[in-house]
Amino acid sequence: MAKKYNNIFNLEDKTALIIGGSGYLGFEMSKALFLMGAKVIIANRDIKNFNYNFKKFKPNLDTRNQFKFIKLDITKSKSFNKFYKNLNKECNSKLDILVNCAWNGKKNTLESISNRDWDHDINVSLSSTFKITKKLIPLLKKSKGKIVNIASMYGHIAPDYKIYSNKKLSNPPSYGAAKAGIIQLTKYLASYLSPYKINVNSISPGAFPFPQTIKKFPKFIKELKTKSVLGRIGTPKDLRGVIILLCSEGGNYINGQNICVDGGWGVR
């Protein structure tokens, strides 16, 4: 009986594409899917970051055929076109899981953000998720696949600017706006794609500060910890369980949901 239930999280024979999968959160989720048996394809603009994380991963077997990298700069249309061609070759036109996890932006305040910065941030996070998902829907229809979009707690609550007084830590208004858009796009896609048996959900992490931020700004981290009812910040490993659930048979009846992984930040 136990073996039967263990199998609901098995991802063997599944192919997963993680956009932004070389990043701080993205790589941990990529590893989790791989360790459950999936072939993982990471799309990022810089292979150096992928190679660095891959070396730290130190898997016990040759994973190069099961853990792949394809270059993608989501700010350039030419890069998109080349990426789709490479993806079809790499996955043999078979895709079971799509995880949209891309983000790149400056530490802006409402006063400092320019129109150009705003457009860039919305394009990288929200528009690219729409474009990639729309392009890959035919493949996901074939597999009755899963889509997971990475949003943020700041997509449904506002940053507390009493703890963001340092401009080096500022959270740009474009970030929350884009992530709120991700949550709504997730619900729209879940409804629209339901006839094709495609599950679409989002995850809202928070707060998951980068290691360099933890080291440089201990007072800020202490304040962040008080926001969570668990009294701590998140680490990438805290996302392993939820990404496996949403990408596996275990999550087959979860659809159109935004799952908060925030230590209870949002309950207050």
Q: Is the dihedral of CA 251, 23, 238, 8 positive or negative?
A: positive
Which residue among 52, 164, 175, 196 is the active-site one? 175
DSSP element (H, E) containing 214: helix 211-216
Is 175 among the catalytic positions? yes
Query: Is the backbone peptide bond immediately before 151 cis, with ω within 30 degrees of 0?
Result: no
Q: Where are the alpha helices (DSSP H) in 123-202?
A: 128-143, 173-192
Nearest to 33 by CA among 85, 98, 82, 77: 98
Exposure letters 29-53 (e unless 16+ CB within 10 A, then b): bbbbbbebebbbbbbbbeeebbeeb
How many other CB atoms are found less than 10 A from the CB of residue 11? Answer: 23
Q: Note whether 87 and 70 are within 8 A (CB).
A: yes
How far apart (Å, rounded) are the C-alpha atoms in residues 190 and 201?
A: 7
Residue 219 in tokens: 């007072």
Nearest to 132 by CA among 177, 189, 195: 189
Q: Note whether 45 and 124 are within 8 A (CB).
A: no
How far apart (Å, rounded) are the C-alpha atoms in residues 22 and 94?
A: 21
- Could you tell me what percentage of the chain is helix, strand and coil, using 3-state DSSP and rounding each to the nearest 5? 50, 15, 35
Q: Note whether 113 and 174 are within 8 A (CB).
A: yes
Q: Which residue do the tokens 């392993």 mark?
A: 240
Query: Among all residues, which ones are annotated catalytic?
Result: 175
